[in-house]
Structure 1
Amino acid sequence: MSAAPAGLRLEPWVLELLRCPLTGQPLTPLETDGEVFLATADGIRYPVSDGVPVLLADEALDVPEHVRARWEEQR
């Protein structure tokens, strides 16, 4: 696993445990234009605020419509 961006304050072993609340996929660090996110292989992104991941389904970005629809059905 590559090193986490400086804005992500998590130990590597903790990062390995985190999963997307919508799909259950593992999350990997992603830095874009100075912003830090955790992202799935499908491209769903979760913001990192002050070094802490915001792993709330309602805060997810770039969620495919079929994943969003399935999530809404389960609520």
Structure 2
Amino acid sequence: MSDASRKSDIDPKLLELLACPLIKGPLTWDAKKSELVSKAARLAYPVRDGIPIMLPSEARQLGDDE
């Protein structure tokens, strides 16, 4: 499976509707890592098979350099 077929894009309209479940703030799309990022909460939510996994327990803590 190629890298391009594994990583899916998020519909821009969906991105406008989604918010961080912890702080209710905006999310940005990181296509390279296939994650929705909440900079304010310092969390990155994975997107698997085009489905955002909006569970804080599944989120990755952002590093200091992110």
What TM-score does the superposition give when structure 2 sets the normalisation length? 0.69
Q: What residue ranges of structure 2 are gaps of 5+ in the alignment? A: 1-6
Q: 2:29 is matched with which residue?
A: 29
Shift of 1:41: 2.0
Structure 1 runs (4+) greater than 2 angstroms displaced:
none
Q: CA RMSD in A?
A: 1.8
What is the total number of aligned residue pairs between the two structures? Answer: 55
1:48-59 aligned within 5 A:
48-59=47-58
- Structure 1 or 2: more helix by fraction: 1
Cα deviation 1:34-62 (Å, max 9, x = unaligned): x3000012331000101111001211111
Structure 1: gaps of 5 or more residues: 1-5, 64-75
TM-score (ref. length: structure 1): 0.62
